[in-house]
Structure 1
Amino acid sequence: MIEKMKFLSITGPKSDIDRVVNEYLSKYEIHLENAMAQLSQVQHLSPYIQINPYKDLLTRINEFAGQLKDTEHVPIRDISLEEIQPLVDVLNEKISKINKKCDELSEKRASITEDLKCITPFLTLPQDLDKLIHYRFVQVRFGRIPVEYYEKFKEYVYDNLDTIFFPCHQDDYVWGLYFVLWTKMEQVDAVFSSMHFERIYLKKDYYYGTPQKLHNDLNTQLNEIDKELNTCHQEIQELLNGDASAILSAQAALNALSTNFDVRKVAACVQEHQETFYILCGWMSEKDSSSFMKEIENDSKLFCVVEDDNNKINCKPPTKLKNPKIFKPFEMYIKMYGLPDYHELDPTIFVALTYSFIFGVMFGDVGQGLLLAIGGFALYKWKQVTLGAIIGTAGIFSTFFGFMFGSIFGFEHTIDALWLRPVEAMTLVPGLGQMNTIFVVAIVFGMFLILVTMIFHIINAVRTHDTEGIWFDQNSVCGLIFYGTLTVSALLFLTGKSLPAAIILIVMFAVPLVVIMLKEPITHIVEKKTPVIEGSKPMFFVQSFFELFEIMLSFLSNTLSFVRIGAFAVSHAAMMGVVMMLAGAESGGSINWLIVIGGNLFVCAMEGLIVGIQVLRLEYYEMFSRFYKGTGKEFKPFLKHVNKTKFSDHT
């Protein structure tokens, strides 16, 4: 069901807006519309522009709250704005000092990490680095050279160059160092540069000992820094945990105050007699608006008008679904397709009943149905997964039809079928011979559902005053008469009873089809619109004829689509028959229970998924397409009851 909405225009002195929001509006769900857009005809209207004073404070407190862990059981208490500011200032000061130390440690850590990166390729070097760096007559160059150039260097250059190259490590590069006399330095450096040698500059006054010793010392320093950083982070965490309740309370309070303040974004201002007034426009449920009006009736500073004439409202009402708890999970399927328009029927209950019923028929098994029911409701209860409730409900219907079909965990002869066995039951159809009963029932049931959706279409058309939709459309009264006659004739034929007189059938079939074909000109005549036929008349009749042909095909295809209900009921029994055969249950010998259990789990998971999708396809394509548009606008409360307590007026 869709809750009835009322459009409210709320006005008062500009300086009084915070009191109204905190004292009244925060108690109710109100979908606010932009007042500037709604009141475009009002003169001297201007937007309400004011900077949110809580924004910076909320940003800081959100940073603190984001670092808290295990906040589920932290109590939220009343806290005033006068308490929040000192709390943020003290936390800022303490955390800033710790963060400053963390930054220094992080810089030091980055420097040591870079040194380790430089030292690591030279771990095989046996000599102390400080001695190598400080040779008196020989220069040492550390670096790396690509492997392919190193091979060329060794083959063509090295023997003729006054240098010694000592390789230390090889990956994509050859890491090492070369020695060169001062007098040959420029020549040798130039040759190595031509071989793409990349130098690494070591800190002369920093590296002492062998690379291995230095590597160990740097790792030790790195571990010490990591311990200090962890200590700093723990200090911050302990500091925040000590004030966790105050932080979360401040966050809740600031969220409420900030959200309430942001009402100004959709408000408008107008000046009257030297005083400026605010205007707020929005939608409330009929129940909330009644309570709101009663609460403010003695408030001299607040004036509210409830608009009943929809012609004076520039926006369509939002849609707020309200269904019994048992049907509420199925709202998920409605929202997937699109929310119903405010003036449309809410199909949630219809979907809940038809989806569960059809699923049960297609997947009728007592044991597997119980598994789905238990698993689905457990998932919904402990994990709050909406789909779990849908699976659980569908499982109940599967269990019911399992008894009707006499099937339990694939065993077809353990219990008696209360109705029929899908694989075995046959019906004599005049002119067609023997047909599977479940197929015949599925088609008849599908025809019934199509008739119901046509009625829904007519109701929606009446609500929107759509003349063509009420009388002349393929899903209107004409379509209902045509398809209803077809359904009754099919039932009479199947039961062996005589059909109505031929002339009656011709009238009931032909007249609605002619009206459907000529729906546009007839609608124009009824609504007194001109021209009656737009464009070329011969082309109109040709186009209308082919459209009528397409409509007839759609009726046929939609009806035959429901055969899948019976097909899956039969295929489920057939699949479980295969499982039983593999397990040896059909031969009368010892049963392999591992195959029985595994087969049941496989069929339950795979076929359950496929059937769930197929039923949803029937809902969307064969039923929704006839009556449902799903163009509604979601009801979004601007103030989502973020006020857990009443805050005093801080502004």
Structure 2
Amino acid sequence: MAKTAKMRLVELMVLKEDIDEVVEFLGKKGNFQFQQKLELNHSISNPDEDILSKLKNVRSFLNLPDVTTEDLQASTRPSEYDRVLCQKFLYTVDVLQKKERDADDELKRVQDAYKEALSFSNLKVPYSELDHLSFLSLRIGKIDPAIFDELVFDVGQRAVIVPLGSDKSKILAATSKKGRFSLDSELRKHGFVNMEIPSDFKGVPDAVLKSLQQQVKEKTKVFENIEEEKHNIAKTHADFLKKFLCQFSIAAQIKLLENSLESTDLVYRLTGWIPEADCHSMMTELDRLSEGRIAIRLFEPNEVPAVQAGEEKVPVKLHHGKLISSFERMIFSYGSPAYGTIDPTPFVALFFTLLFGIMFGDAGQGFVFLLAGILMSAKVLKIGGWNKFAPIFMAIGCSSMIMGILTGEFFATEGIMKPVSLFITGLFGESRYPILEMKFWESANAIGIIFGIFGFTMAVGFVINSIGLLINIINKFSCKKYGSAIFGKTGIAGALWFWYVVIFALRIGFAHHTPTTFDWVFIAVTLFFAAFGEPFERFFDGEKPAVEGGMGGVIIGGAVELIEVVSSYLSNSISFVRVGAFALAHAVLGFIIEKMCSIAPAGFAQILILIIGNGIVVVLEGMIVAIQVIRLQYYEFFSKFFNETGKEFVPFAFTYK
């Protein structure tokens, strides 16, 4: 049986001139877990983090897609040349951002003035009443044409200056009500002479409207040109920006980590755990990167004082292929196996796939899961962080399809799978359909079908429980906890009691066995050591005192444990009846869908019922079955050996947030 990966503690003494390169190597390698928990201090100055923040703002401004953590793997920290290029790029975009802001403000100001003037253009009221406009405050007068441009510059965005003649000797100044005092002050500085407007003059002059309209067009054109320039920069510099984001993300994380490491003026000290299989290649590469200037020391876990004292746990790493590794999160969500113990992931993968297929037996619906898994694996179907579970979808899809072939179910319809069933059974003798009868309500042997399914699923449960017990016993012997391996509910004593009682019951039920004295003695002895095994465990494991709490405490504790042993093994076995119950329930749901189709009008109505019915079954029952399988794994399987948990291996790696 495969065990957790062997680990080594490595101590690195790195010169200051090499620390950037070493940290970058460890972060990209992704298999070095720091021994101590580092307190990352974001308050310390980090120029690379400031540059990264600016680059993120640029990405948002240019409306370009963000980079991912995976993109960092193909990148490196920036060189000095990259830093120069990045600063030039940031300056270029900063100038463009300022131009866009100014053009946008100018356009909005002119548009507001034009809209309000336009709204009053058809009002034939005396000009003197225009002072009552809510937005505009107007001034008309004379000015020296030579200082027109100077006036426009000095007024800036506070007002709109409109020339009323070709020589710019007469102007109209428009501003907001709150800006009229500032406008009057500027006009006086530039020798503005207010013109007397006839009291009977009515309406906003057409020249004013045309001038404002022309300014709107001009400012719009300016803004559009800037947007076009922005689009061109985004198009031509997208790769550069992606490169800079990755580079400075790595650089910022390197500097953040270095600020938290033990160091002197010349040397940094790094200690962490790495898998033994990677030791030689990593140390060789580190020596090459530093040109021999690095000091490396390796330690076995039992050579680490903190591990010997029980103050530190060796991190646990599991080695699997793509299929089995997709089930690892199911393990770690419950707890990490202890270091050096059996890796339960392959068993979890097998049992999850098997139990799901039994409870969800339909070839068509299983194909939906298989297809979903294939599309998720190919990244055609993207469902957040669920794509990493694509192999699980493919596995349960295949098991459901196999069970569907056995039961003759295909999208809750009958008969489609008949040729397949006849062909398969014909290879082994007499042809029959279905291979496995599930529709007990249509059979003369309904009780036999029901009990046969329940008996099979309880047999599967017996195997799962037994493997859990064997894993626990082997783990205890590996950890040299001989007392726990031999005695107790999940030790050899409890396992022998469980196995013998099951075999004993089967012999009585099917072989008409007559109980003997040996049977009762064996059951009693194994049950005694399973229930009253604590003092024996403590004695064999070298714990003192062996009898903790006196004989009275041992007797009371043993009596309670006696009830626990019997009830837990009974419930652990009966719990797997639910697997058969869900398998029968799935068959009933298929029958209901099929029956609804038979009574519905032929054509579209039947197709609609099939689609909706199967959709409900795939989504809702698929979720329920998955939850039930996970529950069986957690409470019936894991409970046998997960009495001591370890610490998951979480290596240092660059991430992008």
* Cα distance change, pair 306–218 in 1 and its aligned pair in 2 (3 A): farther
| Other-structure match for 1:472 | 487
1:403–1:417 contact (8 Å) kept in structure 2? no
**Quick one: which amino acid aligns to residue 84 of structure 1?**
D
Aligned pair partner of 2:637 in 623, 628, 638:
623
* Cα distance change, pair 229–128 in 1 and its aligned pair in 2 (3 A): farther
**Quick one: which amino acid aligns to residue 546 of structure 1?**
V
| Other-structure match for 1:243 | 237
| Other-structure match for 1:441 | 456
C-alpha RMSD of the superposition: 4.7
Structure 1 residue 253 displacement after superposition: 3.4
2:22–2:286 contact (8 Å) kept in structure 1? no
| Other-structure match for 2:367 | 370
Structure 1 residue 560 displacement after superposition: 1.3
1:427–1:434 contact (8 Å) kept in structure 2? no
Unaligned runs of 5+ residues in structure 2 are 136-175, 184-201, 307-311, 422-431
* Cα distance change, pair 605–126 in 1 and its aligned pair in 2 (3 A): same
Are 1:394 and 2:399 matched, yes or no?
A: no
- The SS at the match of 1:484 is helix
| Other-structure match for 2:467 | 452
2:440–2:450 contact (8 Å) kept in structure 1? no
Q: Does 312-321 or 628-637 show the bigger shift? A: 628-637
Q: After superposition, what is the alpha-carbon deviation per residue over 1:89-129, rounded to whole angstroms, capped at 9, x for unaligned? A: 32233333332233334555776899899999x99996759
- The SS at the match of 2:333 is helix
Structure 1 residue 436 displacement after superposition: 2.3
Task: Provide the C-alpha distance between the structure 2 equivalents of 1:348 and 1:490, rounded to a whole number of angstroms.
Answer: 32
- The SS at the match of 2:316 is coil
Aligned pair partner of 1:310 in 302, 311, 316:
302
* Cα distance change, pair 469–84 in 1 and its aligned pair in 2 (3 A): same
Aligned pair partner of 1:578 in 592, 595, 605:
592
Q: After superposition, what is the alpha-carbon deviation per residue over 1:177-224, rounded to whole angstroms, capped at 9, x for unaligned? A: xxxxxxxxxxxxxxxxxxxxxxx9777689x968xx999999998897
* Cα distance change, pair 364–622 in 1 and its aligned pair in 2 (3 A): same
2:33–2:649 contact (8 Å) kept in structure 1? no
- The SS at the match of 1:8 is strand
The 5 A counterparts of 1:468-547 are 468-498=483-513, 501-535=515-549, 537-538=551-552, 540-547=554-561
Structure 1 residue 561 displacement after superposition: 1.2
User: Aligned pair count?
Assistant: 561
- The SS at the match of 2:11 is strand
- The SS at the match of 2:323 is coil
| Other-structure match for 2:148 | none
The 5 A counterparts of 1:600-611 are 600-611=614-625
Task: Provide the C-alpha distance between the structure 2 equivalents of 1:450 and 1:221, rounded to a whole number of angstroms.
Answer: 83
* % same residue: 25
**Quick one: which amino acid aligns to residue 437 of structure 2?**
R
Task: Provide the C-alpha distance between the structure 2 equivalents of 1:639 and 1:378, rounded to a whole number of angstroms.
Answer: 28
Q: After superposition, what is the alpha-carbon deviation per residue over 1:19-56, rounded to whole angstroms, capped at 9, x for unaligned? A: 5456x65674342425699xxxxxxxxx9x99655333
Task: Provide the C-alpha distance between the structure 1 equivalents of 2:59 and 2:492, rounded to a whole number of angstroms.
Answer: 60
Structure 1 residue 564 displacement after superposition: 1.0
What's the TM-score, normalizing by structure 2?
A: 0.71
1:585–1:591 contact (8 Å) kept in structure 2? no
Unaligned runs of 5+ residues in structure 1 are 38-46, 135-139, 144-199, 643-651
| Other-structure match for 2:578 | 564
| Other-structure match for 1:288 | 278
- The SS at the match of 1:10 is strand
| Other-structure match for 1:11 | 13
* Cα distance change, pair 592–342 in 1 and its aligned pair in 2 (3 A): same
| Other-structure match for 2:159 | none
Task: Provide the C-alpha distance between the structure 1 equivalents of 2:10 and 2:552, rounded to a whole number of angstroms.
Answer: 52
Aligned pair partner of 1:268 in 229, 238, 262:
262
Q: After superposition, what is the alpha-carbon deviation per residue over 1:305-338, rounded to whole angstroms, capped at 9, x for unaligned? A: 1101424253433233321223222223234334
The 5 A counterparts of 1:112-261 are 131-132=128-129, 134=131, 228-229=222-223, 231-261=225-255
Task: Provide the C-alpha distance between the structure 2 equivalents of 1:270 and 1:59, rounded to a whole number of angstroms.
Answer: 30
**Quick one: which amino acid aligns to residue 292 of structure 1?**
M
1:422–1:436 contact (8 Å) kept in structure 2? no
1:332–1:386 contact (8 Å) kept in structure 2? no
- The SS at the match of 1:482 is helix
1:50–1:264 contact (8 Å) kept in structure 2? no
Task: Provide the C-alpha distance between the structure 1 equivalents of 2:489 and 2:381, rounded to a whole number of angstroms.
Answer: 44
- The SS at the match of 2:273 is strand
* Cα distance change, pair 601–255 in 1 and its aligned pair in 2 (3 A): closer
Task: Provide the C-alpha distance between the structure 1 equivalents of 2:604 and 2:216, rounded to a whole number of angstroms.
Answer: 67
Are 1:100 and 2:101 matched, yes or no?
A: no
* Cα distance change, pair 106–363 in 1 and its aligned pair in 2 (3 A): same
* Cα distance change, pair 630–371 in 1 and its aligned pair in 2 (3 A): farther
| Other-structure match for 2:609 | 595
| Other-structure match for 1:187 | none
* Cα distance change, pair 240–584 in 1 and its aligned pair in 2 (3 A): closer
Q: After superposition, what is the alpha-carbon deviation per residue over 1:141-161, rounded to whole angstroms, capped at 9, x for unaligned? A: 989xxxxxxxxxxxxxxxxxx
* Cα distance change, pair 215–547 in 1 and its aligned pair in 2 (3 A): farther
* Cα distance change, pair 313–55 in 1 and its aligned pair in 2 (3 A): farther
Q: Does 407-416 or 562-571 show the bigger shift? A: 407-416
| Other-structure match for 2:355 | 358
Aligned pair partner of 2:327 in 326, 330, 337:
330
* Cα distance change, pair 530–380 in 1 and its aligned pair in 2 (3 A): same
Structure 1 residue 577 displacement after superposition: 1.4
Structure 1 residue 569 displacement after superposition: 1.3
Structure 1 residue 453 displacement after superposition: 0.8
| Other-structure match for 1:193 | none
Structure 1 residue 395 displacement after superposition: 1.5
| Other-structure match for 1:421 | 437
Task: Provide the C-alpha distance between the structure 2 equivalents of 1:419 and 1:538, rounded to a whole number of angstroms.
Answer: 59
| Other-structure match for 2:411 | 409
1:77–1:245 contact (8 Å) kept in structure 2? no
1:259–1:639 contact (8 Å) kept in structure 2? no
Task: Provide the C-alpha distance between the structure 1 equivalents of 2:104 and 2:644, rounded to a whole number of angstroms.
Answer: 55
Task: Provide the C-alpha distance between the structure 2 equivalents of 1:483 and 1:400, rounded to a whole number of angstroms.
Answer: 32
Structure 1 residue 373 displacement after superposition: 1.8
| Other-structure match for 2:429 | none
Q: After superposition, what is the alpha-carbon deviation per residue over 1:559-587, rounded to whole angstroms, capped at 9, x for unaligned? A: 11111111111111111112222222899
2:369–2:394 contact (8 Å) kept in structure 1? yes
Task: Provide the C-alpha distance between the structure 2 equivalents of 1:492 and 1:355, rounded to a whole number of angstroms.
Answer: 30
| Other-structure match for 2:48 | 54
**Quick one: which amino acid aligns to residue 505 of structure 2?**
A
Structure 1 residue 358 displacement after superposition: 0.9
* Cα distance change, pair 97–369 in 1 and its aligned pair in 2 (3 A): closer
Task: Provide the C-alpha distance between the structure 1 equivalents of 2:392 and 2:230, rounded to a whole number of angstroms.
Answer: 45
2:49–2:249 contact (8 Å) kept in structure 1? no
